[in-house]
Structure 1
Amino acid sequence: MRKQVCVKKKRYVRALLIVLLLFPLVDFAWGGGTEDGRVAVPILLYHRFGPVVADSMTIKTSVLASQLEYLHTHGYTVIPLRQLIASLAGKAPRLPDRSVVITADDGHESVFTDLFPLIRRYHMPITLFIYPSAISNASYALTWSQLQEMKDSGFVDIQSHTYWHPNFKKEKKRLSAQEYENFVHRQLFKSREVLQQKLGGTVDMLAWPFGIYDDELINDARQAGYIVAFSMARHPVTRSDSMMALPRYLMINPVQGIVFEKLLAESSLSREKRENHP
């Protein structure tokens, strides 16, 4: 019993350290300024959900529900990711105050069982970044019919997370130059091809697996037809960010309560300061 308590304490301390690293409660390091001061939008990145924290990427469904309820009741507007991209490109009107974007990576089945009912309740749009090799194959993954149902709801956009979520750094070391080039080409092209064939629509947005990218990969992604890509970084999106490496906040279970509220409040404050001091 004492041993179990010690293990739990160690896990809690580890999680707390991660939170303090990702989201310090003071002196947030927000992204650079914008050309007109009108864009500073946090993109929230989720992975999977459940009744307990099974691993570092799992968020309790109760925590997720409280976060969405907070957004709903405190004046935040969850906008489609494409609306943010259009605004960054100067092709959309000014975004609503307190805009937030929600994304989820990988394609875990809990996106359908836990997240989807909540976004339907609150009418919140989300974008899923999927690696198709797992769909209807891996035991933990969504099925194609579940993805189609979510897409048909009008709340869910489905985009690419490469074909099977590789670590490009490791693959580059392991493969010859030509083999690596072919590997990257397949990961980027086949994901778009399969998603568009299975679900229809346009797949032109990419989430970098593990947040890994470089200039060569960015060039390959553009050639593969992606117009925008996303990584992980703890600041809101601004016009100064590269369209091929837009930042997203990695959401883990300890990012709840005052930590979650602080994240959102600092993002709004960041935008207000830019608008008042262009």
Structure 2
Amino acid sequence: MRITTRTAATVARPAAALITGVNRSVGMTPHGLTLAGWHRLGPVGKDGLTTSFDDFRGHLDVLEEWGANILPLNDAVARLEAGTLPDRAVALTFDDGYASVAEHAWPELKKRGMPATLFAVSGYLDPSKTFPWDRHRDDRETVRLMDPRALCDVADDGLDIGSHTVSHRWLRHLAPAEVAAELVISREELEGLLQRPVLSFAYPMGGWTRRIRDQVDRAGYRIAITVDRARNRRGQHPLSLRRWFAFDRASDFRMQLDGGFSWLRPVETFKRRNGPGF
């Protein structure tokens, strides 16, 4: 992370704390619902997707020290809508379906009693496949994907599973019929595999519009998550919930929990306007 970004977050942090204090003084749940995300564990590179196991454990330590109330995603969203969230409510998520989540992240979470949701790409449940952004990498272990059996095993072990489309394409560049296919087929494939309802969804790379959100609704999802950085307050649309992905340093992760990086949202939205670069 650039020093200027970290410095700006440090400056913004007291303002976020002040807003939290005001909300608490008037009886509002001060922190709303925080959705935190990761992709995979492995040797840290410059891809922005990989978190080392030590850093991941550091993040979980911070959550415990911060006093986070970590809730299952479905329960958290229901309580957000009902206005019954506990203070410092957090839900944990993973995108894509990398094998390291099943083999390393989930056992650590389970040991600590922390629920989480994995958003799986139904057309990439195959270790012989590689996502387009990973094809230049030599460390095949880091980019290895789950197979259907591994997904079923972690689901049976308590990891919640949502959909992340069939092929992880940028939905904003697709025709409505193509978007519908990505939404409906992925849900059908995952439900057929897991033999349980799949009602949550994560927009690939955060690519959503109100039109796409309406299609997500028609496809039968009840929760959908963006990458628009901020906490979720009561009244936030359940099909465009906000979420941030964890930075590596434990100190940065703590600043994320405190709202120090929320000012990045319009910057990140501007950068995503044309979609991914692969």
Q: What is aligned with 1:144? A: 148
TM-score, normalization by structure 2: 0.77
In the alignment, does 2:129 pair up with 1:129?
no
Q: 2:223 aligns with which of 216, 228, 232?
A: 228
Matched, 1:79 2:91: no
Instruction: Please list the CA deviations of residues 176-195 of structure 1 after superposition, one character each: whole Å capped at 9, or x if unmatched.
Output: xxxx2221111000010000
State how far apart, in whole Å, the 2-side matches of 1:18 and 1:45 are: 23
Equivalent residues, number? 239
Using the alignment, how far apart are the partners of 1:18 and 1:83 within structure 2? 37
Residues 167, 266 of structure 1: alpha-carbon distance in 2 compared, 3 angstrom cutoff:
closer
Q: Which secondary structure does the structure 1 equivalent of 2:12 belong to?
A: coil
The CA distance in 2 between the partners of 1:190 and 1:145, in whole Å, is: 19
**CA distance, structure 2, for counterparts of residue 166 and residue 196 of structure 1:** 20
Q: Does 1:47 align with 2:39?
A: yes
Contact 2:62-2:250 at 8 Å conserved across structures: no
1:163 alignment counterpart: 166
- Of the three residues 248, 258, 262, the one matched with 1:265 is 258
Distance 1:50 1:18, change over 3 A: farther
Gaps of 5+ in 2: 131-143, 261-278
1:57-96 correspondence runs (5 A)? 57-90=49-82, 94-96=84-86
1:119-138 CA distance string (max 9 Å, x none): 12111100011111000252
In the alignment, does 2:87 pair up with 1:101? Answer: no
Measured in 1, the distance between the counterparts of 2:94 and 2:101 equals 8
TM-score by length of 1: 0.77
In 1, distance between residues paired with 2:99 and 2:194?
17
Name the amino acid aligned to 1:235: A
The answer as to whether partners of 1:53 and 1:60 remain within 8 angstroms in 2 is no
1:248 aligns with 2:238: no
Q: Match for 2:2 among 2, 10, 16?
A: 16
Shift of residue 18, structure 1, vs aligned partner? 9.1
Whole-Å separation in 1 of the counterparts to 2:236 and 2:206: 15
> Is contact 1:109–1:142 with CA below 8 Å preserved after alignment?
yes
Higher mean displacement: 70-79 or 191-200: 70-79
Query: How far apart in 2 are the matches of 1:19 and 1:195?
Result: 39
> For 1:108 and 1:19, how far apart are their aligned partners in 2?
29
What secondary structure is seen at the aligned counterpart in 1 of 2:237? coil
Give CA-to-partner distance per residue, 1:18-45, whole Å, 9 cap, x none.
9549x82222586998997226121101
Could you list the runs of 4 or more consecutive aligned residues of structure 1 that deviate by over 3 angstroms after TM superposition? 17-21, 28-36
**One of 203, 209, 231 as aligned partner of 2:204:** 209
Structure 1: tracts of 5 or more residues without a match:
1-14, 172-179, 268-278
One-letter code aligned to 2:110: R
CA gap of 1:61–1:131, structure 2 versus 1, over 3 A, is: same
- Do 2:41 and 2:51's aligned partners in 1 also have CA atoms closer than 8 Å? yes
Contact 1:105/1:128, CA 8 A, preserved across alignment: yes
| Structure 1 residues 215 and 36, CA gap change in structure 2 (3 angstroms) | farther
Whose RCO is larger (CA < 8 A, sep 6+)? 1
